[in-house]
Chain A
Amino acid sequence: MTHPDSNRSHPCTKIIKNGIFTENPIFVQVLGMCPVLAITTSTLNGISMGAATTAVLTFSNIFISILRKAVPTAVRIPIFVVIIAGFVTIVEFLLRAYVPGVYSALGIYIPLIVVNCIILGRAENFASKHNPLRAAADGVGMGLGFAMALIIVGAFREILGSGTFLSGTPFMLTLPPGIPRTILIVLPPGGFLTLGFVMAIRKHILDKKKTVKVAENNEFTHCLSKCSSCK
């Protein structure tokens, strides 16, 4: 993980990209694993949990950043927790009022957003040290990175385990009956397996890209130093 101050000179778009790709909270930092493994039995659950966490992360980051100079160091963690818990409760009320189906699907994992270490981690490492605009960008980036991971894992598990995609929405697709479903994938061990495979695929793609880059650089240096045509 990079130092929290390393992004100070970066534009907001770079902070957002950082949260989604370079420092993705799930695939790179491996934080907030509890909801990732528990609720990703469907894509819709992943989308809903991702959206709820992004909202809480963004607004709590903005408020913590606004209050950062007024918060005494000794009580900063209780204050952060109160702010985060407040936003989680507000999101819970809004979900119950406007999308009750999503609220029932996510159940206990909505109040548990309070103890998601990504949110407290970003409050302590980033929002409390940067201005509200950068804090908001960090919240959006990390939230989208978290949501992206949940959606990818949820989609894999739903397709392979239940044989559907986007079930619970009007865009639901069902696999033909001949294609076998692997029940293990929707069970808790399936969560670990899927996450492991997705992380391995991501690592493989990044390593391949790195190898190509290194090879290109080596070729260039080689050419400048020893190539007969350059001489």
Chain B
Amino acid sequence: MKTALPLFIITVLVTAAIAFIHGLTEERIKTNEHAAYTAALSALVIGIPDPVFSETHETGNRTGVVSYTLVTSGGEFAAVVINVRFMGDQGPASVAVAASTCGSVLGVKVTSHEETPGLGANAAGTDFLSQFTDKSGIFNVVRTANARIHTNDIIAVTAATNTSRAVADAVNEALRFASQLILKFYAEILAEG
């Protein structure tokens, strides 16, 4: 009892201090996280004036499409941002893909990854990801620019072909989901008359 009491008192005091700091910073942390999320989404839907983002809808999946956010502009459905969790070359990774209502890619951002800096991590860079912009359909990864035949052929990052393929597959999955979502949305409008 004599030895346990000081440990108990100190643990209570430390917990109280943590609770106090948590109370002080909670609002600010929430604001930061929301601002970071909105900024990330806004950066993806370039070209859509005054985008308004809906609540994020969770799909309940652990991999593949995990969530999506609808984007409206002037009260009209304008785009959808889809978050896909996939396996990179070195570990789990996530990508956010913004698709317009006609199914073309507005922007792609790798939101988290465990790829090697200088190698696989380069697949999260704008040089690689900008290749998807303004294109629709299914993407295929090629190793060199010489091997490029179709407009949907994406040139892999040097020494990171596996990571490039994983990102392209994730974008393909996001676009498949987006097309289903857009079809469902328009079907509902038609059904309403």
Contacts and interface: CB of A to CB of B under 8 A. Distances in A.
Nearest to A162: B118
Contact of B14 (A75, A83, A93, A161): A83
A168 interface: no
Contact of B32 (A70, A74, A100): A100
Contact of B10 (A74, A82, A97): A82
The 10 residue pairs across chains A and B that have the minimum distance between CB atoms: A86-B14, A97-B25, A183-B118, A97-B28, A72-B3, A93-B25, A100-B32, A75-B7, A186-B117, A90-B21
Interface residues of A, number: 27
A79 B116 CA distance: 38
Interface string A199-225: 000000000000000000000000000
Contacts of B138: none
A61 to B, nearest CB: 15
Chain A interface mostly: helix
B18 A86 contact: yes
A98 interface: yes
B118 A161 contact: yes
A94 interface: yes
Nearest to B118: A183
B3 A75 contact: yes
Contacts of B18: 86, 89-90, 93
Q: Which of B4, B6, B24 gathers most chain A CB within 10 Å?
A: B6
A8 interface: no
Contacts of A33: none
A187 B18 CA distance: 36
A31 interface: no
B147 interface: no
Interface string A172-185: 00000000010100
